[in-house]
């Protein structure tokens, strides 16, 4: 005769884990199973069930321990990151320890749009640093409701993940996790996508949200760090580089030119009779003059060059891969632009001019300190010979 006992962790309406299987007992004899035999079989089934549940709990505990260790390792890397790019990479690496995904992306919110700042999948060049609207997208819903979506992580394509971006249609698993800190506004979102199905468990989602919360903190700190770094090298009055940034840029350009055996040029300029301007029209107007001259510098220099305010009314321009003729051309264009400025104080026109000294590495010298001193002396010659002019050290040295 045959007897079967379901291995279940509770009554049908109370089961937490469902059925484990069925214990089947068979024997040659045809008589019915006695009450004692049924009790023994049930007791055996209960013992098997307990062993199965214990094994399951041990397995889940081990998996959870391993998962927590992965999260811990990922958070360690994330906490060590300082700048934004390092934070993005560390967050993606932390997620990669947990999830076998095909795509990781980080998008940051800017008022009514968001920008993909990190992207590890295909089509990176076409997507990175592009701006997308928040409306009519799953990412927009995540920002609005401050929750991870979709609920099941299975992507059905009913709503675009990112408005105007169709690449997510090729993925079957998608998870968009908000970057948020307690009561602060959502600052961005993590996007995880995979071509496979059912790769994210609820436990995994919770761990991802822990990483996302830490990433939000680190991104906020990295933004603050970058602002502090920028403030440290920016002149507050003009918005151009300050003396510290100039010294750093000067040394870097000098070392590059030495390695390449190529030229670069230095221009030092000074606002003519600036003390008289300050004394006559006041310091606020003097500040306006400095700001206007700095604006002309920004318009003249190329990407890769450096314009800096290195003193009260003194400025410097570093021109990479530029010989003396090119530097003199830049100096003259700058001088003429300043000369054409229309500045007024209480209705009175105030003429403003600058004098400039120009040197070239290695034509004038291959010594960094001497190069600066020669430019300064050329500037002195420009002032002594009538102001409002550009003088090359090569012509007077």
Query: Quick check: bond before 362 cis, omega within 30?
Result: yes
Structure tokens at 324: 């003396």
Report d(CA 326, CA 329) in Å as an integer.
Answer: 5
Report d(CA 184, CA 32) in Å as an integer.
Answer: 70
Query: Quick check: bond before 150 cis, omega within 30?
Result: yes
Distances in Å between the alpha carbon of 181 and those of 37, 188, 315, 342, 383? 61, 11, 43, 50, 58
Q: In 293-353, where do the E strands start and end?
A: 306-309, 314-320, 344-345, 348-349
Report d(CA 283, CA 94) in Å as an integer.
Answer: 54
Q: Is residue 41 classed exposed, middle or buried when 0-12, 13-18 and 19+ CB atoms within 10 A define those classes?
A: middle
∠ CA(267), CA(270), CA(275), 5° rounding?
A: 170
CB 95 within 8 Å of CB 104:
yes
313 is catalytic: yes
Q: Residue 381's Cα: distance from chain center in Å? A: 47
Report d(CA 377, CA 389) in Å as an integer.
Answer: 14
For the CA atoms of 290, 296, 299, 302, the dihedral, rounded to the nearest 10 degrees, stands at -80
Indicate the SS3 state at residue 95: helix
CB 154 within 8 Å of CB 172:
yes
Of 197, 313, 314, 360, catalytic: 313
Q: Which of 313, 310, 231, 296 is nearest to 266 (CA)?
A: 310
Catalytic sites, residue numbers:
313
């Amino acid at each position: 005769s045959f007897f079967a006992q379901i291995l279940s962790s509770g009554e049908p309406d109370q089961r937490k884990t469902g059925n484990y299987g069925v214990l089947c007992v068979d024997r040659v004899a045809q008589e019915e199973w006695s009450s004692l035999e049924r009790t023994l079989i049930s007791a055996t089934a209960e013992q098997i069930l307990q062993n199965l549940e214990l094994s399951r709990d041990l397995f889940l505990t081990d998996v959870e321990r391993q998962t927590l260790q992965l999260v811990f390792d990922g958070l360690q890397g994330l906490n060590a990151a300082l700048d934004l790019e390092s934070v993005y990479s560390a967050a993606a690496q932390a997620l990669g320890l947990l999830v076998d995904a095909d795509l990781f992306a980080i998008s940051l919110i800017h008022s009514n749009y968001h920008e993909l700042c990190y992207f590890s999948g295909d089509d990176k060049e076409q997507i990175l640093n592009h701006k997308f609207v928040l409306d009519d997208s799953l990412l927009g819903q995540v920002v609005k409701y401050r929750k991870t979506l979709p609920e099941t992580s299975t992507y059905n394509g009913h709503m675009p993940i990112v408005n105007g971006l169709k690449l997510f249609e090729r993925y079957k698993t998608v998870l968009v996790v908000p970057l948020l800190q307690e009561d602060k506004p959502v600052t961005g979102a993590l996007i995880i996508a995979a071509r496979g199905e059912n790769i994210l468990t609820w436990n995994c989602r919770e761990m991802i949200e822990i990483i996302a919360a830490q990433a939000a903190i680190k991104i906020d700190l990295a933004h603050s760090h970058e602002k502090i770094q920028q403030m440290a090298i920016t002149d507050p009055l003009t918005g151009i580089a300050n003396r510290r940034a100039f010294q750093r840029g000067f040394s870097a350009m000098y070392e590059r030119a030495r390695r390449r055996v190529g030229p670069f040029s230095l221009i030092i300029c000074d606002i003519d009779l600036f003390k008289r301007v300050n004394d006559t029209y006041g310091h606020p107007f003097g500040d306006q003059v400095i700001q206007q001259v700095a604006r002309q510098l920004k318009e003249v220099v190329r990407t890769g060059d450096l314009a800096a305010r290195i003193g009260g009314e003194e400025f410097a321009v570093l021109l990479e891969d530029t010989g003396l003729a090119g530097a003199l051309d830049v100096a003259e264009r700058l001088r003429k632009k300043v000369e054409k400025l229309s500045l007024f104080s209480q209705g009175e026109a105030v003429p403003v001019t600058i004098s400039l000294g120009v040197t070239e590495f290695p034509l004038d010298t291959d010594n960094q300190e001497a190069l600066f001193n020669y430019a300064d002396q050329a500037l002195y010659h420009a002032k002594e010979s009538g102001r409002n002019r550009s003088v090359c050290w090569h012509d007077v040295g």
